[in-house]
Amino acid sequence: MSHSLRTLDDGAWVSVDDRREAGASELWRVRSVCDCVVGDLLVEGVVDVGVDGRAVTARVAGRCLTCDRETVTGHLPVGRVVEGSYRPLATGAVRAPPNVE
């Protein structure tokens, strides 16, 4: 089964199957994005979207509110496709680039 994946509104949203699923102004808990063990990243814009296996990912521009670092991330998980349906990441989940434990 195929799914439509793109950015909307000049990088304000990740769109999956024409539904806005993640976007600017969200606060993401992140690892391996800045010097913080776990940082609080304020997402300012979506740079790119992608797929890693069943995971839907996004590169985002933002600022860590913990250490004040501005960054453009690598691909971070937004959600995944399970049994043909998109499922968003749980609220409060810690996001990290693939292959980071």
Give the C-alpha separation, 23 to 21, whole Å: 7
Residues 6 or more apart whose CB falls under 8 angstroms from that of 59 comprise 46, 47, 48, 49, 50, 72, 73, 74, 75, 76
Say which residue, 83 or 99, is predicted with more confidence. Answer: 83
Share of the chain above pLDDT 90, in %: 56
Average model confidence (pLDDT) across the chain: 88
Q: Report if residue 76 sits inside a domain.
A: yes
Q: Report if residue 94 sits inside a domain.
A: no
Q: Report if residue 22 sits inside a domain.
A: yes
Find the angle CA(26)-CA(90)-CA(65) to the nearest 5 degrees. Answer: 35
Q: Report if residue 32 sits inside a domain.
A: yes
Expressed as residue numbers, the domain containing 80 is 5-87
Q: How confident is the model at residue 101 (pLDDT cuts 50, 70, 90)?
A: low
Q: Report if residue 98 sits inside a domain.
A: no
pTM of the model: 0.86
Q: Report if residue 38 sits inside a domain.
A: yes
Total domains present in the chain? 1
Mean pLDDT on 8-15: 79
Q: How confident is the model at residue 32 (pLDDT cuts 50, 70, 90)?
A: very high
Q: Report if residue 63 sits inside a domain.
A: yes
